[in-house]
Structure 1
């Protein structure tokens, strides 16, 4: 069901984030995120030709690719800024190499902010890491589940209590993992 009909309005900004997950032939996984920001009107910008960012041209056009394994270890990082509001924006992309060797696990977002927050990174690229990390989980879930089914190793499945559907005392957990139902 879509959103209700809105009040009369005029668009002022469009941010698009697209993330895709790929299984590579070498067994690793590439997860790519792409962020664009556009406006439907010209805006002054001293670092664009003629001092203007023309309507529809991206103010931000940024990419991230993380290469990970089934253990969610980051093997490689590629970051590209094709467009930013200032000439120097692409200069920060090498800093994102600090992500190599990290695991995508609880605390990942906080760790990325520690490593790349403020002047050590780019706000938009750091924000893009959130949807990219979520896409890692979505992409690898099936393969990880086949390799090591949740709840079969004696440990509580990680999904329990992560949202209302996976509440330990809920119906889904009772059906999927009866031995863990009720918060055991």
Structure 2
């Protein structure tokens, strides 16, 4: 379903495109590549001259290699275009410090801490921030559905979004082992119906 058409007339100004691709490697690791491209819909003047509509303002890439635990074992970043040229691009090697971070365990907060303000590039860090959910999608099809449902370990993505809440119909149908009966409103006498607190499975450790 598309967005409804706006009522006032308008003209385009800015377009940002983010693309992600993932790969399984022959060594058993996974590569996740992300690309960010910013363009303007109009010409504007810069110190170096006129920047034409459609020419990249920002164009950057980051690739992380991670294992089955979602831990990053290799990382590289590079630029094709940046507003301040080499002054922007010189920060690219710093993003090798993504190595050792886990994509599902506080990843975005660690990126903010390591690459905040002058220690990083805000656009490269924004690009890195989209990696966790793409990593989850990368791994989602690597095991059979029945194997996931029969696993003794609760799937990490449960309670990670509205559709996959543990007391919802999707979990009841797809992951009945981990389904929790919804709590009912508290009765007038103070008794609580439904699941006891100690039956509720803690939230997963996936990144927010």
Q: TM-score, normalised by structure 1?
A: 0.89
1:3 corresponds in structure 2 to: 3
1:101 corresponds in structure 2 to: 100
What is the rounded CA distance, in whole Å, between the counterparts of 1:166 and 1:151 in structure 2?
Answer: 17
Of stretches 23-32 and 92-101 in structure 1, the one that deviates more from structure 2 is: 23-32
CA-to-aligned-CA distance 1:4-63 (integer Å, 9 cap, x gap)? 1123210000100011111122221111111010012111222x4xx2222111000000
1:64 corresponds in structure 2 to: 62
1:143 corresponds in structure 2 to: 142
What is the rounded CA distance, in whole Å, between the counterparts of 1:78 and 1:123 in structure 2?
Answer: 16
Match of 1:170 among 164, 168, 171: 168
What is the rounded CA distance, in whole Å, between the counterparts of 1:144 and 1:45 in structure 2?
Answer: 51
2:46 corresponds in structure 1 to: 45
1:123 corresponds in structure 2 to: 122
SS of 2:36 mapped into structure 1:
strand
Deviation at 1:171, TM superposition (A): 1.2
1:17 corresponds in structure 2 to: 18
SS of 2:60 mapped into structure 1:
strand
What is the rounded CA distance, in whole Å, between the counterparts of 1:110 and 1:94 in structure 2?
Answer: 20
SS of 1:62 mapped into structure 2:
strand
2:33 corresponds in structure 1 to: 32
What is the rounded CA distance, in whole Å, between the counterparts of 1:31 and 1:143 in structure 2?
Answer: 15
Of stretches 65-74 and 174-183 in structure 1, the one that deviates more from structure 2 is: 174-183
What is the rounded CA distance, in whole Å, between the counterparts of 1:145 and 1:80 in structure 2?
Answer: 35
Q: CA RMSD in A?
A: 1.8
Matched residues, number: 179
- Structure with higher Rg: it is 2
Structure with the higher fraction of residues in helix conformation: 1
- Whether the 8 Å contact between 1:150 and 1:158 is mirrored in structure 2 is no
What is the rounded CA distance, in whole Å, between the counterparts of 1:160 and 1:101 in structure 2?
Answer: 25
Q: Cα gap change, 1:52/1:134 in structure 2, threshold over 3 Å: closer, same or farther? A: same
Gaps of 5+ in 1: none
What is the rounded CA distance, in whole Å, between the counterparts of 1:136 and 1:102 in structure 2?
Answer: 13
- Whether the 8 Å contact between 1:45 and 1:85 is mirrored in structure 2 is no
